[in-house]
Amino acid sequence: MKKFAVIVLSMIILTGCFGPQKLDLKVGETVEFTGKQSETPWQHMVDIKEEYPYINYIDFEGGDQRVVYTKDLIICSDQVSFKGTVVGISGESKNPDSDEVYIDQQITADEFSCI
């Protein structure tokens, strides 16, 4: 029983469920959060947004990473505070034998500041 509990707890921690930056993202909602620019961007879909020309890969405590679009270049040495709107983009699989569609929830940040 103890072994089972340890496995379940490990799975929860590794998936970031206890992370303070676990964002419950819903397209169209305004969110406020903190994170740090990633040194290792994951493979995300990106969208070219004329109004938000800067594409940022932001890591959150708990292991989550999101694409955050900004109007200005972020030059922060550590944590960044953001306020923005959740957007969703979708794309088809690169596998020609798959009809799966991927959806990535991202953020257009109207405000950010270094912490």
Look at residue 6 in the predicted model and tell me its pLDDT: 40
- Cα–Cα dist 12/20, whole Å: 13
* 102 in Cβ contact with 93 (< 8 Å): yes
For residue range 56-81, what is the model confidence (pLDDT) as tens digits?
999 988 788 999 999 999 999 999 99
- pLDDT top residue among 58 and 15: 58
Q: How far is CA 14 from CA 17, 37, 40, 56, in A?
A: 8, 20, 18, 23
2-114 belongs to CATH 2.40.50: yes
| Domain range summary for the chain, segments of one domain joined by + | 2-114
Look at residue 1 in the predicted model and tell me its pLDDT: 53
Give the count of beta carbons closer than 10 Å to the beta carbon of residue 82. Answer: 22
Please tell me the pTM assigned to this model: 0.74
